[in-house]
Amino acid sequence: MSETFHKENQEHNLTESGENRPEVSFVPKYRKALQWVLAVFCVLWVVWHFYQNRQDLGLFGSLTLPTIALLLGLFIFHLWLYSLNFYYVIISCAGPKIPFIAFFKTIIIGRFLSSIAPQAGGVWRAIHLKHKFGISYTRYIGGFLCFLWLDAAMNILLSSVIFALFAPTFTISSISIWIILGILGIGWFIPIFLEKLLHKTSVRTGWLGRIHERLSSMITIAVQGIHDHKMLVRVIVLNTTNFANNILIIYLCLSGSQESITIPALAVFFILLKLSSYIIITPGNVGIREIAYGMLAEQMGLGAGAGIVLSVFYRLFGMIIVSLFGIYFGGLKLLTKEKIIKSQS
């Protein structure tokens, strides 16, 4: 990790065959500007809400010191489970054996960098794993897609079990939860259909051919990952444990609310949390997730303030743990390097 991010970013601008390619921005500048403008408006809306409903500000002081300590411990456990889950998928899809502690450090530093410059952590993580452990970009992205795919499958399955057992008639704004889970379930099959479509089509020349080849390889790696039964068993156990851990985290974050909270309601908050990690509208979905949680909490009778505070607590405690571990693992040294974070990343 002694190399500067700028140097690694230059290496990233080489294809795996060694050919130079021009630096490109994955997110156009105007789009990034619009994202930040939208984030500011969303944050201003949240501020306006608390200005209009000052009594909700008391929710920020509702957590006791033992609860805060427990939440910090649960977030550490969450990061460990997340990293271990991702680790088993990557070594299954990418091949090279990596010491788990080295992979855990890579995950933490990546998140730490992303908390300061959105997207920087993901790019640095891919470059670092290629430079340090020889994992190609194609295999890393394929493994990452497989990880997200399996994570989504487990969250849909576990949520379905909870609603079937505790609230089979659960609705949100008169919409049955089964319709929502059904739509998510249909979306889960998209990679399978996409893999078959890419294999049936053939584009052999030009930049379209190169894109088709890389995309086809990444989707194939992701889909074939589910055939590793040993990895699947580990993923099921770790995902189930982390699902329960996050339900407990959400419950504790809402413990200051005067309203009773059911397990299905907690599961809905977790589903929305996962969706907000897949669909990025503003940097880190700042403001967007707070408003979405506020609207959801209002629908459940908890009050918009409780939902906003839940999102802020989850974001705050996660940032504290990631920052502490990120600094401890050397993330701060990376930040002090010249040109470590570039907007192109």
Q: Structure tokens of 163?
A: 């609603």
CB contact at 8 A, 102 and 91? no
CB contact at 8 A, 333 and 311? no
pLDDT at residue 341, rounded to an integer: 46
Non-local CB neighbours of 239 within 8 Å, separated by 6+ positions = 85, 150, 151, 154, 155, 158
Q: Which of 118, 125, 116, 157 is nearest to 144 (CA)?
A: 125
Placement of tokens 């908050």 in the chain? 269
Bridge partners (DSSP) of residue 20 are 14
Q: pLDDT 10s digit of each residue in the chain, 345 long?
A: 444 444 444 444 434 434 444 344 444 667 778 888 999 999 999 999 999 998 888 888 889 999 999 999 999 999 999 999 999 998 888 777 889 999 999 999 999 988 887 777 888 888 888 888 888 888 888 888 888 888 888 888 999 999 999 889 888 878 888 998 888 888 777 766 766 666 667 666 666 656 656 666 666 666 666 778 888 899 999 999 999 999 999 999 998 776 778 899 999 999 988 888 888 888 888 889 999 999 999 988 888 999 999 999 999 999 999 999 999 998 888 776 644 444 334
Q: Which of 326, 125, 45, 90 is nearest to 231 (CA)?
A: 90
CA-to-CA distance for 238 and 228, rounded, in angstroms? 15
175's enclosing H/E stretch is strand 175-176
pLDDT at residue 345, rounded to an integer: 41
CA 164, chain centre distance (Å): 26
pLDDT at residue 14, rounded to an integer: 39
pLDDT at residue 189, rounded to an integer: 75
pLDDT at residue 285, rounded to an integer: 86
172's enclosing H/E stretch is strand 171-172
pLDDT at residue 31, rounded to an integer: 77
pLDDT at residue 28, rounded to an integer: 61
Straight-line distance from the first to the last Cα atom of the chain, in angstroms, rounded to the nearest whole number: 18
CB-count exposure of residue 243 (10 Å: 0-12, 13-18, 19+):
buried
Q: What is the dihedral of CA 203, 206, 210, 215, to 10 degrees?
A: -50
Give the angle 271-154-226 at the CA atoms, nearest 5°.
140
> Any alpha helices (H) in the chain, and if so which ranges?
5-12, 29-52, 65-94, 100-116, 120-133, 137-166, 177-188, 190-200, 206-224, 229-253, 263-278, 288-299, 304-328, 331-336
CA-to-CA distance for 317 and 308, rounded, in angstroms? 14
Write the DSSP symbol of residue 20. Answer: B
Greatest Cα pair distance, the chain, in angstroms, is: 63
CB contact at 8 A, 36 and 280? no
Non-local CB neighbours of 73 within 8 Å, separated by 6+ positions = none
| Cβ atoms < 10 Å from Cβ of 63 | 19
pLDDT at residue 108, rounded to an integer: 93
